[in-house]
């Protein structure tokens, strides 16, 4: 699983536009952000912009992807990707010529560039698109965005499932999730009569203005929301930072309230914290630009309110698909005083990094537990592995997702973006996480016993656990069969069982028991060298 996927059936190309689950994002601007004016050789088709966009994309993939791929191959596979628009498309590259044909398109040859110039290959791909549009109604009816997407999906079919293209609309939403947007700070559920508020964000304009959960937003700036889609409502509620949203809401069935709210930069909350029985429980749902800051603020506040009564901290990372790399590093650093957090290794010089802890432990040494499951991925796995490897936390749950690669995000001239795998990460104790995941010390999959029984089992099977952890560190990255076998020791589960929390509560309430279980974690000093 560590090597690039070289062959993906063309019929499955459409499925490569995955949602981005388990993706760690190292956000980089790799191309011009300026949108060029449309220029067309056949009416409304922006040929110049298309050529520039394709050339920029080919260059980014060739330069940044974790293994080298010739630009010529990216372009040829990209042209072949047009079979998602017309399944009869055939493409041949032979004797310096590219032959393009389909059931309703006569074969035509295009001279293949004799260099690996992204600009030259982008122009050839665009010339093919122009010919296809002139010769076929299917291609004529396809939007320029559909055509660009088909080409990039074809190009990316020779990479891995985490490398993908997003058009301008999807890319804008991706950027909003990562870095925030101009808005008022609410989550909604669309109803026939408008939008019901399901969450009001902390420190948001909506909260300070008086909006409440269960309010029905009926109108925004004079426009009624009845019958509108989620996307239409989102576009009405969001806007430029500093602009005004005039909101009419219905409350308690018959009350009408009007608000004039100045939009601010809104970053969706990813941290929810509660305190029960003097234990701080923080659930992290993702990693965006404010995750570490918000977690630090909430834990610091909770500790201050508890005084010296705090028993410990639970980080719930179950179902967390990941997010921004530096936020994962910062979250781990919140609880580590020194030592390595993460290493990343890739082909591009900028992908080689070692991240070291250097902050104060905001939990001041309080016992910690981390909850993971089969949907804890990438950034979540970085945090779990770092805290486990430094014996800072007991990891509880099931094997995690096993997504140990880092993606860079490059903007394109059409305002779309390419997400490309450009490095793998190595945990502090030296194992390569990709295709393997983080091993919980206390496994709750598929155990159905109570907390005490599961803890007792983990202690009784400590020798077996040590053997497993040794194998976890020594298995070679390319040995997918051995890595899959290791994952069966504690099967990945997508469930979030209550017993995970009960085990954490039990351990954090019993210091002696906690330290017995904590020492079952992989030791930094005795860890085997990673596979090469």
Strand partners for 102: 105
> Residue 250 is encoded by which pair of tokens?
């219905």
CB 81 within 8 A of CB 150: yes
Rounded CA separation 292/289 (Å): 8
Q: Are strands 97-102 and 194-200 parallel, antiparallel or unpaired?
A: unpaired
DSSP state of 260: E
Considering the candidates 378, 398, 405, 445, report the single residue annotated as catalytic: 378
Give strand ranges (E) for 323-457. Answer: 340-345, 353-356, 368-372, 394-397, 405-411, 417-426, 442-443
CB 388 within 8 A of CB 441: yes
Strand partners for 200: 186
SS3 for 151? helix
> Residue 456 is encoded by which pair of tokens?
């007792």
Q: Let me know if 136 is a catalytic residue.
A: no
Considering the candidates 215, 326, 389, 500, report the single residue annotated as catalytic: 389
Rounded CA separation 476/268 (Å): 39
> Residue 259 is encoded by which pair of tokens?
């608000």
> Residue 178 is encoded by which pair of tokens?
């990562």
Q: Let me know if 523 is a catalytic residue.
A: no
Q: Let me know if 378 is a catalytic residue.
A: yes
Considering the candidates 138, 298, 330, 403, report the single residue annotated as catalytic: 403
CB 345 within 8 A of CB 423: yes
Rounded CA separation 399/376 (Å): 9
Q: So which residues are the catalytic ones?
A: 378, 389, 403
């Amino acid at each position: 699983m560590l090597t690039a996927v070289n062959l993906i059936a063309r019929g499955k190309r459409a499925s490569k536009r995955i949602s981005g689950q388990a993706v760690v994002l190292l956000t980089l601007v790799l191309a011009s952000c300026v949108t060029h004016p449309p220029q067309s050789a056949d009416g409304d088709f922006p040929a110049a912009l298309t050529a520039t966009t394709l050339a920029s994309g080919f260059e980014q993939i060739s330069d940044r992807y974790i293994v080298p791929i010739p630009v010529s191959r990216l372009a040829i596979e990209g042209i072949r990707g047009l079979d998602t628009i017309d399944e009869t498309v055939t493409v041949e590259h032979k004797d310096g010529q590219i032959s393009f044909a389909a059931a309703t398109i006569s074969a035509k040859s295009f001279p293949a560039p004799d260099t690996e110039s992204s600009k030259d290959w982008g122009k050839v791909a665009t010339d093919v698109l122009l010919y296809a549009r002139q010769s076929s109604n299917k291609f004529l009816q396809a939007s320029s965005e559909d055509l660009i997407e088909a080409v990039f999906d074809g190009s990316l079919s020779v990479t891995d499932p985490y490398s993908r293209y997003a058009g301008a609309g999807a890319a804008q939403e991706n950027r909003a999730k990562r870095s925030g947007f101009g808005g008022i700070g609410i989550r909604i559920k669309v109803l026939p009569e408008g939008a019901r508020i399901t969450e009001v964000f902390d420190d948001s304009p909506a909260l300070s203005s008086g909006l409440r959960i269960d309010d029905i937003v009926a109108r925004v700036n004079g426009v009624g929301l009845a019958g509108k889609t989620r996307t239409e409502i989102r576009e009405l509620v969001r806007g430029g930072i500093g602009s005004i949203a005039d909101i009419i809401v219905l409350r308690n069935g018959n009350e009408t309230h009007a608000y004039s709210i100045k939009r601010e930069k809104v970053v969706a909350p990813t941290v929810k914290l509660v305190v029960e029985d003097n234990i701080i429980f923080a659930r992290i749902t993702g990693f965006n630009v404010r995750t570490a800051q918000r977690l630090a603020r909430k834990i610091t506040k909770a500790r201050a309110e508890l005084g010296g009564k705090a028993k410990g901290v639970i980080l719930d990372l179950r179902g967390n698909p990941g997010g921004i790399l530096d936020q994962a590093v910062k979250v781990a650093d919140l609880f580590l005083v020194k030592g390595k957090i993460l290493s990343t290794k890739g082909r591009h010089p900028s992908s080689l990094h070692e991240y070291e802890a250097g902050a104060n432990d905001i939990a001041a040494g309080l016992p910690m537990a981390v909850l993971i499951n089969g949907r804890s991925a990438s950034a979540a796995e970085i945090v779990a592995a770092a805290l486990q490897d430094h014996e800072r936390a007991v990891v509880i749950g099931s094997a995690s997702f096993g997504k140990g690669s880092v993606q860079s995000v490059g903007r394109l001239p059409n305002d779309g973006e390419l997400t490309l795998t450009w490095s793998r990460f190595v945990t502090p104790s030296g194992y390569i996480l990709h295709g393997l995941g983080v091993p919980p010390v206390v496994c709750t999959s598929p155990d159905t016993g109570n907390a005490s029984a599961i803890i007792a089992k983990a202690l009784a099977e400590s020798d077996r656990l040590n053997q497993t952890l040794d194998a976890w560190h020594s298995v070679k990255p390319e040995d997918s069969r051995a890595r899959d076998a290791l994952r069966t020791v504690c099967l990945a589960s997508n469930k979030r069982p209550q017993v995970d929390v009960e085990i954490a509560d039990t351990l954090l309430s019993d210091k002696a028991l906690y330290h017995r279980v904590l020492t079952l974690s992989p030791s930094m000093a005795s860890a085997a060298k990673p596979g090469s």
